Amino acid sequence: MASSSASCSAAWRTSGAYRQYLRPQDPIAGNTVRDIAVGPDGRKWLGTDAGLTMYAEGDPTTSADDAWHTFNVANTAGGLSSNDIRALVVDGNLVWVGMAQVWDAELGTWSGGGVGRLDTRGTQTPTDDTWAPIATFAS
């Protein structure tokens, strides 16, 4: 990881070029990014206030729009218990995701939170990724 971030920051210093991504015009889950992790394959994982976004910049097998994929409570079948992502760690093919609990004012209860684990199976294709079941205090 250190070498990829070092080369990225060196490119920033010498060229001054950067690109800002904002929702809704770009396919990032949310505009508040709380954590970033870079995998061994170069994919960027962005933990936002509205879900987990994966960005595979420079992936020769995808178009520019297809380089993005967002995981959230609705599309992970129990893989994420909250869209409020606070922490990320990439360990080989595994992406560990720390989520915050969310207060539901209407119900007067907390929901979500905990740690999720995504297995990318070593591919850049999100459709073959699998989520481990989340174990929480309540379950």
For 43-100, write each residue's pLDDT tens digit: 899 999 999 999 887 655 555 556 889 999 999 988 899 999 999 999 999 999 999 9
Whole-prediction pTM value?
0.78
What is the total residue count of the chain?
139
Q: How far apart are CA 112 and CA 43, in angstroms?
A: 26
Q: Are 47 and 36 in contact (CB under 8 A)?
A: yes
Q: Report the relative pairing of strands 130-131 and 68-71 from DSSP bridges.
A: unpaired
Backbone dihedral region of 16: left (phi > 0), alpha (psi from -120 to 50 degrees) or beta? left
Tokens at 131, concatenated: 């989520």
